Structure 1
Amino acid sequence: MVTEEQVLEALRDVEDPEIHKSIVELDMVKDLKVEDGKVSVTVLVTIANCPLRNTIEHSVREALANLSGVSEIDLTIETMTDEQRAKFAEKLRGGKPAQSKPPILDMDDRILFLAVASGKGGVGKSTVTANLAVALARAGLRVGVVDADIYGFSIPSIFGIKQQRPTVINDLIIPIEVEGVKLISMHFFVPENNPVVWRGPMLGKMLRNFFGEVHWGELDVMLLDLPPGTGDVAMDVHQLLPKSKELIVTTPQKNAAEVAVRAGVMGIRTNHEIVGVVENMSYFECPGCGEKAYLFGRGGGDEVAQALRTEVLAQIPVASMDEGLQRRALFAEETPQGQAYSRLAREVIRRTGLHATVSQR
């Protein structure tokens, strides 16, 4: 005969799809009763019309159906009360109230913070950030992305996110997850196509909110897509994350390389290690003959690497309009661009010590 303890144990394998923790651990299971093989149970979801309600219900029913001795399932899905939601948010914070310093910033010995910077816009910095994040996730790492380009946010569109918005539980934000990457962006918090007209202190506050009010869960690496140049947000990142490392993105063009060096010098002056340089749009390779055409010149990446005393970690080829891209601006792993990002991920893993984390998985 099945017992309540056995039912609870079976339900421990059911995870909240957004939080990635057991619904039992999150105290979402209520009113459990077992009588003559009939299991009656209530599962709480955080908000009314929860988009993942059906997913949770299906997982619970499947877990119970696979349990020996269960003959009937009476499952009720209910929405949390305000009090239950507050306790849920507190549990996600580890039982701690909101602090002046976001807890994730105290984890810089366990999380690699890697800022992706460029000297100017239009070099594909956000595309590099997104595709590197996906490549690191494919390598087995737990990856988060902060779209810190608060004026020119583009990470959500690169990941193919249009109408979806993060779930907010009281004042706790659950990041959206795509391709194994958790991400947050200013895009989710402003009306569509409205410009962000903020001064430096407000930008810094929003950046702190991204660290302090977002439930990131367990991460190995967090990428920060910085605005181009050396403005307020870049300086805030340098102050908030003194141990952050930096990746510099440029194109082969001389003018792009010159300003990329300035962005790298700022990182060096704030004691941030420059992991390396990524040269984007390096060349176009003819699909038929394999010949390379250097559409934007040559040497920009080498120039930046030499000035910053580091190395070019990857040269990303240009894609044709009908080549390589999936439904989002993410490259399939088997394309030349996808392979270049896989090599870049391996170099980042090797140079930052993440290889130990990958080998343990």
Structure 2
Amino acid sequence: MSKKESACDSCPSKSENCEAGCDRKNMIKPQEGIKSVIAVMSGKGGVGKSTVTALLAGFMAKKGHEVGILDGDITGPSIPRLLGLKGGRIGAGQRGLIPYRTELGVKVMSLNLFFEREDEAVIWRGPMLAGAVKQFWEDVDWGELDFLFVDLPPGTGDVPLTVLQSLPLDGVIIVFSPQDLAIMIVKKALRMVRTLDVPVIGFVENMAYLECPECGKVIYPYGKPKGSQVSEETGVPVLATLPIQPSYTSFGDQGKLEMLETPEFEQLADRLEKVAACGSEAISNN
């Protein structure tokens, strides 16, 4: 199936009278104030993709950037909990819905922010999920942002497809963990991104090691990190390697995850700043 055929098949506005050659990126409302849009995805669940998104947003905010998070994981949103945001009070202004702000000033829009109860179940089919993500782009007053991170649900389904085909992405960050199964699945995600001609900024290897709090010995619960192997096999650099860190859980449970210091993101942040300044050329030339 060609890229245009795939785009039309998944388009929520599809009708018998659609023009066969339409470009879905021209069908969405532009957001002139957003300088760089970065998707964060994973091939499977449980690798810490939302944790990476929240930590990275906090890291970039502490560097002085204006940052937002569009929570595209509609049926399993965790961004509000990780960043201490409680729902039920979404407001609207002349330019659209007003996103919540975290303590560091990160703007967040998530379906969970519409509910009083954070455990409210969202039982929707694919087209409704994809439509919600599109609305979070078009109908939210994001204002001026240096970076908008789009936290995608795991896998290669309707929502990732909608984001990769519809939003003006500057690139994708793919998160994986060291298990062989996760690496096999992350290659599927990479193949999807490349098939749709979206630039890949780099990998983040999460849960790569554990440092013993007693003796400082480095332990590998899931086997030795696979970053070098995956990078060699795919040609995509690993730009951050994160440990299993108990503070990620404790700070996330308190809604303070953005406050953690994560020097591991320094190289990734440098790449993101180059992408924002130079576009996709910063990816191909480095």
TM bin (shorter chain): 0.7 to 0.9
How far has the Cα of 1:347 moved from its partner? Answer: 3.7
Stretch deviating more after TM superposition (197-206 or 146-155): 197-206
Report matched runs for 1:184-333 at 5 Å: 184-190=109-115, 192=117, 193-320=119-246, 325=251, 327-328=254-255, 330=257, 332-333=259-260
Residue in structure 1 matched with residue 53 of structure 2 by the alignment: 129
Residue in structure 1 matched with residue 107 of structure 2 by the alignment: 182
Residue in structure 1 matched with residue 92 of structure 2 by the alignment: 168
Structure 1 position 153 matched with structure 2 position 80:
no
**In the alignment, is the contact (CA less than 8 A) between 1:333 and 1:339 conserved in 2?**
no
- TM-score, reference length from structure 1: 0.63
* Alpha-carbon separation, structure 2, partners of 1:155 and 1:313: 22
* Alpha-carbon separation, structure 2, partners of 1:268 and 1:252: 22
Go from structure 1 to structure 2 and tell me whether the alpha carbon gap of 1:301 and 1:166 turns closer, same or farther (over 3 Å shift). farther
SS in 2 for 1:211: helix
Mind listing any 5+ residue stretches in structure 2 that lack a counterpart?
A: 1-25, 280-286
Report matched runs for 1:81-92 at 5 Å: none
Go from structure 1 to structure 2 and tell me whether the alpha carbon gap of 1:343 and 1:164 turns closer, same or farther (over 3 Å shift). farther
* Alpha-carbon separation, structure 2, partners of 1:245 and 1:170: 30
**In the alignment, is the contact (CA less than 8 A) between 2:100 and 2:109 conserved in 1?**
yes
Residue in structure 1 matched with residue 30 of structure 2 by the alignment: 103
> 1:115-158, CA deviations, whole angstroms, 9 ceiling, x for partnerless residues?
10101101000000011011111111111110001111100000
Mind listing any 5+ residue stretches in structure 1 that lack a counterpart?
A: 1-98, 357-361
How far has the Cα of 1:323 moved from its partner? Answer: 8.6
Look up the equivalent residue of 1:124 and give its one-letter code. G
**In the alignment, is the contact (CA less than 8 A) between 2:88 and 2:115 conserved in 1?**
no
SS in 1 for 2:244: coil
* Alpha-carbon separation, structure 2, partners of 1:317 and 1:267: 26
How far has the Cα of 1:195 moved from its partner? Answer: 1.9
SS in 2 for 1:298: coil
* Alpha-carbon separation, structure 1, partners of 2:240 and 2:178: 12
> Which is higher, the Rg of structure 1 or of structure 2?
1
Measured on the aligned residues, the alpha-carbon RMSD in Å equals: 2.6
SS in 2 for 1:103: coil
Count of matched residue pairs: 251
Stretch deviating more after TM superposition (323-332 or 199-208): 323-332
Look up the equivalent residue of 2:38 and give its one-letter code. L
> 1:159-215, CA deviations, whole angstroms, 9 ceiling, x for partnerless residues?
011346332247821000111210100112346323212222212221121011111
**In the alignment, is the contact (CA less than 8 A) between 1:250 and 1:301 conserved in 2?**
no
> 1:16-64, CA deviations, whole angstroms, 9 ceiling, x for partnerless residues?
xxxxxxxxxxxxxxxxxxxxxxxxxxxxxxxxxxxxxxxxxxxxxxxxx
